[in-house]
A and B are shown apart, each in its own frame.
Chain A
């Protein structure tokens, strides 16, 4: 169980320190600072063991969050908690920065008291927390007895993430499928590794206690339906289905139902939440293809040509395209010519950065660079790091489609048709690299 939780700024000064168990002493705070934050070599492992105490840390901008324990805890649980903690803090005061943490330290201690009890994680749903931890501290005192008991019954009840008696004039629902696609490609265009990690994020403004059912083109479900229905139908729909490698759900999803029927049904929390996370590795649509051409001309010159091809429907537009072409460490000058967008040599990153604002599908564009090198004493060859790329496309590279999202509310008089539903697909680049 988590013995203590600390928040540091980039200098290693302690902003928040909360100890939950006696086995974590005061010196643990310093131990982490000395051997991780101020370590001579950058510590890359998120888990560090110092003097029989385990520290799990995540970094948000320049702020370090570290959980300490002396017990053999489930590391995934701790990280999940830390991420949840970040979510909660973001939900309360926006970006996690040193200043925000300093300004809200009372609130953070209050939150820490609530979401961790003797080191055991408790309800960490921002929606639920906001009902009884408010930023205007005084307001909570004028809550009536009824309200208080309602909160208690909600928080301790079966559906801790939603309170009763919510009413909206317009029942609305927003659904975002957000994916990030990761790729490593060989110079010859062979895919070395590729996967998509996606999230389904929802925002719901629904009255009462609605029961929702979410359907997507999951291969298992489609195949099952196909078998039940006609054979032709199954073959047709099978092509569009996707194989999901693994997925995790928000706590509101009934897992037993998912296990038995693979249907995703839930009573949604009010407001923002992340319904599910998933990962796929098969049949990924790669939005861009990068074709590098690197030629070394003697010891002092290097010619680089990079072509990018967009590989999706011509009617769609990709945005915020950015290509990073690494340059050798002994670069002394760069000349650039590009057909589209803007390109610049950034010495501080040791790379050429080429930015294109928009690009339609089925197009191609190229950049060519002449790099001048300074002769060095080192016989070490340049390691040729891969060319990386960033972009945003308006479809899901995994091929995921939302088939339906049904809402049932038996007690109130609105039906599935009355709910306004918005669906949006966003595909982003994760680590999208091509070797050169």
Chain B
């Protein structure tokens, strides 16, 4: 770099900046800036040419003013002129201005590109570097278009200086990230990969960033880099700390390069070539060995660098997941870190261990640290570390230690940080269910959970308890008893009341023998909570009451009295009122036989995937804990936990009000009768064969709503229409217009008119959701002989969206209107 000459101090600039800094108020600052701008404008007006120095000075001032937040709309030309200067400082300021203030102004861009091109082709390495930095800093599409083909050439050319190569690699990386379609490696690929063999460590470091990025997109093309990377890595790892001179950082040889190499290797599966693999394993072992050595320096930078490599190596080991020996060693190493006094290390150790726990080879090894982890959960001061500890506990849990872990997590929940409570609750619920051998333990756990952290217990959790209790005969009595006891607490959470209401309503008879829990006592206990609950819970309790009438006829009078009182039968909430009225009537009119049939015990729920798992998955991003793994094991234990997934609430209520599904029921999204959108399995049946029943011989319309509904011509698809659709279709025997099909997402209406031999029909599609349908297409297929009769089909296609709630939809802007003749 050229030495800074004497005149480069730019005194004017320094004075200006200090003036601005001394301004007492914003107004004074603006005044000063206005004055300076006017001065610069008068200088740039250009009666006489400015010399490079003053041009540079004024451009600098403009840059400073811009950085203070003012608009600059001139001076670009002067900056571009600076680019062609031969002085380093002037060129540098010019490039700085361009990178900060460039806008896609066509004429200027051309000039700038020209200047950059000149600099790139010059043999002066500093100028080349400046140009490359400018391209990378701007990184716009125009830049990529202009230089994407040139930079790889500079990068691989034999005579390019090392520092330029470095810049070129990083510049290319930047361009690749902004517009990957423009950067085509093609013929350069192998030569770029061979940069890994470069003598200069800086070039290798820069190149490896580029290669990692490129190989993530097309791994096959860069496959050859694996062996090169391994050999490079082994050379670094085996080198003594003094070998690499400039690239040794606190006695650690080239830590950044090592990390990047290890990360690059994580893009690929373990090398197949035995020699390469052996060499790599050797490297990893060396890294693990080095971690055991006493530190060469007490400085924190030394240990940081060393640990960075170690953690990267461990994640590579986990990525390969094929070397039991290494996995166990890694696990032991992490175990040591668990008690390290550095918080960051503990955090990282817990995080890596989470992934280790999912590997079959190291699962047992991870389990040995359970005490430490539990201790961390309890005593750690940093909440993020506690969170990781909880994750790890969840990941290391299996049948052998489930009870211990669940108990620990439960006891921790009482003091847990609010931000992680909900997740903890879900985890406890899942673990309790998955590893429950003894269902009374499961029921105890969940009830405890509701008691401790009721606010954080989501609907799914208590649905699940009820499903399990209903599906397992042996636990019902115990559940009723426990629930009854839990309800006796003076203040209990609403979720507890829900569970209690449901279980006592179903199985209250199992504990009615005990005089302490006689039917009336049970009822009074439940009813004492009634007034403190929200509407959905009250609705559930009302259903429980009617079940009581069936179970214990002796409570009938009391319950009828309750139902009859004004606060029930005239409740302002329509749902509660309807229930009260209907249950009252049902109990007074129906005979005991009818009652017993209507209010029979719930049938077992069919087996489904646990919705709690789905919820946890939704809550956490991918990659934190391997949920899939848990799911697998869940499936194994499926028959063990004969749990189903139907919403107990809905099913229970179905007896009384099929017409008004309660809101909580929809939360489950599993009403078996209706919706289509959720379950792809039923999508095929959505197909509506309109005309077979609707009117005179006519083509069939099929609805194809991409993503939601799929369809094929009716002849190919034997699936019968939905029962609901069937009913709708029957209407068309005597009607020309009406609703053809309707579900939560879509309403299809038909309007048709027939005159003599001509018929015309319109199909209306109404979007009932609040989002737009994308790529909505309809296919109209015609039975053979009709084809010739179609006069024309006109369709207007547009996206549409209903802005209103799902109840009132009023948009219908898609129509096809074929006109056909007989």
Contact = CB atoms under 8 A, between A and B. Distances in A.
B34 A332 contact: no
B31 interface: yes
Interface in A321-366: 329-333, 347-350
A10 interface: yes
5 contacts: A330-B74, A332-B44, A377-B74, A377-B103, A377-B105
Interface string B47-60: 00000000000000
B73 A377 contact: yes
**Which of A375, A376, A377, A378 gathers most chain B CB within 10 Å?**
A377
Which applies to chain A's interface (DSSP): helix, strand, loop or mixed?
A: loop
Contact of A347 (B26, B38, B44, B103): B38
B516 interface: no
B108 A377 contact: yes
A374 interface: yes
B31 A349 contact: yes
A362 to B, nearest CB: 37
B263 interface: no
Interface of A: 10, 42, 62, 329-333, 347-350, 372, 374-378, 380
A62 B73 contact: no
Contacts of B472: none
B73 A331 contact: no
Contacts of A376: 73-74
Contacts of A329: 37, 73
B39 A42 contact: no
A374 B72 CA distance: 13
The 5 A-B pairs of least Cβ separation, nearest first, read A347-B38, A348-B31, A378-B73, A332-B41, A332-B45
A10 B32 contact: no
Interface in B58-90: 71, 73-74, 76
**Which of B24, B32, B34, B105 gathers most chain A CB within 10 Å?**
B34
B73 A333 contact: no
Nearest to B101: A377
Given A42-B26, A376-B73, A377-B103, A348 B42 contact: no
B615 interface: no
A331 B74 CA distance: 11
Given A347-B35, A377-B76, 17 more contacts: A10-B24, A62-B24, A329-B73, A330-B41, A347-B39, A348-B35, A349-B31, A349-B34, A374-B41, A374-B45, A374-B74, A375-B74, A376-B73, A377-B73, A377-B74, A378-B71, A378-B73
Contacts of B292: none
Contact of A374 (B24, B25, B26, B44): B44
Given A332-B41, A333-B45, A347 B73 contact: no
Contacts of A330: 41, 73-74
A348 B34 contact: yes
Contacts of B45: 332-333, 372, 374
Contacts of A372: 45
Contacts of A333: 42, 45
Interface string B185-202: 000000000000000000
Nearest to B105: A377
Contacts of A349: 31, 34
Nearest to B28: A348
Contact of B42 (A42, A332, A350): A332
A364 B35 CA distance: 32
Contacts of B76: 377
A62 B25 contact: yes
A42 B69 CA distance: 13
Contacts of A350: 34, 38
A302 to B, nearest CB: 14
Nearest to B107: A377
Contact of B37 (A62, A347, A377): A347
A350 B34 CA distance: 7
A328 to B, nearest CB: 10
Contacts of A375: 74
Contacts of B73: 329-330, 376-378, 380
Contacts of A377: 73-74, 76, 103, 105, 108
A100 to B, nearest CB: 17
A347 B625 CA distance: 64
Contacts of B103: 377
A38 B108 CA distance: 38
Interface string B8-28: 000000000000000011100
A274 to B, nearest CB: 29
A377 B35 CA distance: 20
Interface in B779-795: none
B699 to A, nearest CB: 56
A348 B74 CA distance: 18
A192 B509 CA distance: 86
